[in-house]
Structure 1
């Protein structure tokens, strides 16, 4: 058995016990839109359109307790693409600095507005490495890291994020705005229909980098789906 297979075993077991995601088990799924701000053909090939997104807590701490905050969204397949494109971000770093260690250091936060979301790993596209980060731009009521407050805000005035990209070690620049506008009711079991996987679901010529870690993540995501008997 390969080392990557061994690493994925606890994730499958944890997902089976929980009957939900091993990481980011608690979240709010919502419909929304993304609007590209970067000029065409500058940076990652994100296009404007409808998306489905998810705001989550990495460990699933109860109520408004601190946790690492997650933001994921799925974009429809681009022209001639075989799959949709999933982007997964998590709170990281110690502020808005472009310093690379700030992009990979997972961070627990005490409020949604405090989080700076990072891809943690760069994406390889057209022989260059690109990073993605996002920041919440609308206030969320209440105190702490409450998913109920996120739910209410989305179904109220919506939830907005600024999404930025950076090439290599360069600084971040505006790439898009993302808006969540309508919570998908859990009674539709929609959360189980969206198994976000940035390795399996990506745009043409866009890959999580480095390759060896991409393979580990691919098996981890697959094990999580198998553990909770979820669709791809």
Structure 2
């Protein structure tokens, strides 16, 4: 057992006690599309296509109470090959600092870790551009909007410490299932990061991989 496994072992017990994922236990699994808006070959190798995503609450606070807002999505391939690519983002400030929010539209979603690619080191962030009705951080408001027109996010990338510029538009237009117990799709960018994309730094990726694995094993979920 590695140091990373030992460090994250309590997450397995926590997930088992909750019978839910330790991180972002409540959310809405949805389907949609990603449309690349950046020129081909400019920056990260995202391509247009169908995606599966999840909009979630990090601590699982009830109702519309504030929380860490989460956004994850899986692309079945990228410009370099057919390896699937999971992206996980959470509401943050200054790229790396977790920040709870009171509404979905107030969140600036960040990967919290940079992405390595042969052309350099990049950051990813996203913002919800579709206004949601209702107050607070309610998953019911997300479901209602999915059923009445869809939810759109603007995805941006930055090279190193440079400014962000548009990369893609992410659009969810349907809820894939209504029961949290049947919607336990495991998104894990430490094992699915595209063909030539890697999370950086490596030691933190290893720790994060163990954390996700222990959370899945604790609730007896598939990878």
Distance in 2, matches of 1:118 and 1:60, equals: 19
Alignment of 1:1-232 (within 5 A): 1-78=1-78, 81=81, 83-93=83-93, 102-126=94-118, 128-187=120-179, 190-192=182-184, 194-232=185-223
8 Å contact from structure 2 (residues 47, 79) kept in 1: no
Aligned residue-pair number: 223
8 Å contact from structure 2 (residues 76, 82) kept in 1: no
Measured after TM superposition, the shift of residue 80 of structure 1 is 7.5
Measured after TM superposition, the shift of residue 205 of structure 1 is 1.3
Structure 1: give runs of 5+ residues left out of the alignment. 94-101
Measured after TM superposition, the shift of residue 184 of structure 1 is 1.1
The two structures, once aligned, show a CA RMSD in angstroms of 1.5
Distance in 1, matches of 2:14 and 2:77, equals: 31
Measured after TM superposition, the shift of residue 59 of structure 1 is 0.2
Q: Which secondary structure state, in structure 1, belongs to the residue aligned with residue 112 of structure 2?
A: coil
Measured after TM superposition, the shift of residue 177 of structure 1 is 0.3
**1:30-57 Cα deviation digits (max 9, x unpaired):** 0000000011111110000000110000
Structure 2: give runs of 5+ residues left out of the alignment. none
Distance in 1, matches of 2:150 and 2:176, equals: 13
Distance in 2, matches of 1:121 and 1:106, equals: 12
- Change over 3 Å in CA distance of 1:42–1:82 after alignment to 2: closer
Q: Which secondary structure state, in structure 1, belongs to the residue aligned with residue 113 of structure 2?
A: coil
8 Å contact from structure 1 (residues 184, 190) kept in 2: no
**1:96-138 Cα deviation digits (max 9, x unpaired):** xxxxxx0001000001110000010000001511100000101
Q: Which secondary structure state, in structure 1, belongs to the residue aligned with residue 8 of structure 2?
A: helix
Which residue matches 1:97?
Answer: none
Distance in 1, matches of 2:79 and 2:47, equals: 11
Q: Which secondary structure state, in structure 2, belongs to the residue aligned with residue 92 of structure 1?
A: strand
TM-score (norm 1): 0.92
